[in-house]
Amino acid sequence: MQPLTHWFEKRDPAPPAPPPSSAAQRRQRVSTLDATLVVLLAGDETALRPWRRRGYNVLPRAEAEEAVPGTVAFACALPGCCDLASAGARWWAKKRKKNPNFQTEVVDALKETEAALIATGAPYLLLTPAAPILKRLWKAPKLKISPHEYGGYLPPAAAHPRYSEAIPNQDAYQKRTYVYSGNGLVLPQRKPVPPVWVSMTSKKTGKTKNVAPMFAKRRYRGAQRAAPLGFMEGVAQCNARTLAGGV
């Protein structure tokens, strides 16, 4: 994750501004309700397709500095946290020998990212894998979700735009995720669909267990980091509006 820039720094409240005398001043006084931008600080831009469909423009972190304060309607980050999630636990001992602070550094980066989200002044969302260590090193999430719990926000025939082979239609898979949010973001109600399972047999123990499809094959590793699109659609339905040119 990149360090914060001046655009994200908090400032003391300024005195009331006089009536705007230029287009630039008018843009600076645009309220969140009139905002047309959404900011992605980390993660896959696919997560913000529901906002694009409604006419919003998406800014990646590299362009966020150019956004005029007050023009951002929503900010989110979906950083990878394999150094915290239990799926990467087998490598922790080796990583700890190399860097005893590797996990606290990841948590520090998450804190910094949330601070950047808060500083936009817009409703924000930060998603991480459901890693219990976060509760000890940082704080408990506002909510714990699984993609299948929000699959009802997607059409039944909705295939994933990037990982259709690994992710079932309607996000019908189980993967625990932590939700951190604030600045007035409204979280959607659950609309669950039954999760799809794949049976896997361990070569070591011979035991069979059910897992989500993207965990069944190594080549689906990218799908394991995919955003929960049903949940993101629900967030957009609760917080976005259709702008001119939106669908």
| DSSP code string of 202-242 | -TTT--EEEE-GGGS-GGGHHHHT---HHHHHHHHHHH--P
Lowest mean pLDDT among 28-42, 105-119, 185-199, 214-228: 28-42
**What pLDDT digit, counting tens, does each position of 67-121 carry?**
887 899 999 999 987 777 766 667 677 888 888 887 889 899 999 999 999 988 8
Higher-confidence residue of 76 and 246: namely: 76
Burial class (CB in 10 A: 0-12, 13-18, 19+), 69: middle
| Residue 15 predicted with pLDDT over 60 | no
Check residue 154 and give its pLDDT: 97
For CA atoms 195, 201, 202, 208, the dihedral sign is positive
The confidence score (pLDDT) of residue 174 equals 95
> Average of pLDDT values for 51-63?
91
Q: Is the pLDDT score of 134 beyond 60?
A: yes
* Weakest mean pLDDT among 17-21, 123-127, 138-142: 17-21
The type of residue at 150 is Y
**Euclidean distance between CA atoms 174 and 177, whole angstroms:** 9
Do residues 126 and 114 make contact, with C-beta atoms less than 8 angstroms apart? yes
Q: pTM of the predicted model, to two decimals?
A: 0.82
Q: Give 218's pLDDT tier (boundaries 50, 70, 90).
A: confident
| C-alpha of 113 from chain center | 11
Greater pLDDT, 140 or 44 = 140
Lowest model confidence (mean pLDDT) among 24-28, 35-39, 219-223, 237-241: 24-28
> What pLDDT is stored for residue 150 in this prediction?
98
